Amino acid sequence: MTIDKNLIKVINEEISKYDFLGGDKLKEQQEYYNLIENEDFQKQFITDFILGKTDKYKIIDTVESRITGDYSDDFTADQINYISIEYAVKIEYKYDLNKEPVQFELFFSNDERIPINVDGEEDKISTDRGIQNITDSWITFIDWNKINVDMFSIDGDTIEFKAFKRATPEIRNIFVREFTKEMISTETNMEIRED
């Protein structure tokens, strides 16, 4: 039996195109993990986020968004207010213009209660039903240091967020505040007005 050399050549070309052992996928996955675990990559993301470079990142999904605690918008009450937060978002980040964006998740939570201060003002208005009190309350302080940030791969694997842990307290506070303030405001129905 004679085998046509051209047939063997075509078969070998087709076989070389097919990734039998999944090596290409494994290599791609390893490159992904190497990238999101890279401290310089993480620093660049934190910097781009704080600088508001929205052309480089976007929240593509809010996985979880919940505020619990003991807080009140009654600023006249003599009460200690605190919140707890669970906020998970999927991020798409374009770290390199020549490459596809990379996706990962951030999860904001707390181990201890997060103290908040509430203030406000009352107004009286006349209506056809008589005088009514209108109350406007807002949050004047949140202890941003109490909020933790964890990073995860898109598959849910924990990634050490080294750049965040090594950042100065001021950078960590700005990052956490800017990421969570809108959600906290929405969930508590109180605007955040810090001095």
User: Would you say residue 20 lies in a domain?
Assistant: no
Which range marks the domain in which residue 52 is found? 27-192
**Does the residue 14 lie in any domain?**
no
Of 167, 164, 110, 165, the closest CA to residue 142 belongs to 110
**Extended strands (E) in the chain:** 57-70, 81-93, 102-110, 114-127, 130-142, 147-153, 158-159, 191-192
Q: Answer yes or no: is 4 within a domain.
A: no
| pLDDT recorded at residue 187 | 92
Residue whose structure tokens are 């202890």: 143
User: Mean pLDDT, the chain, as a whole number?
Assistant: 88
* H or E element that contains 166: helix 162-166
On whether residue 17 sits in a domain, the answer given is no
| Structural contact between residues 158 and 39, judged by C-beta atoms closer than 8 angstroms | no
Q: pLDDT per residue over 31-62, tens digit each?
A: 999 999 999 999 999 999 999 999 999 999 99
- Residue at 148 is within a domain: yes
d(CA 159, CA 100): 20
pLDDT of residue 2: 61
**Residue 182: inside a domain, yes or no?**
yes
Q: Please state the rounded mean pLDDT for residues 70-79.
A: 72
Quote the number of domains for the chain.
Answer: 1
- Evaluate if pTM is beyond 0.85: no
Does some domain include residue 180?
yes
7 within domain boundaries: no
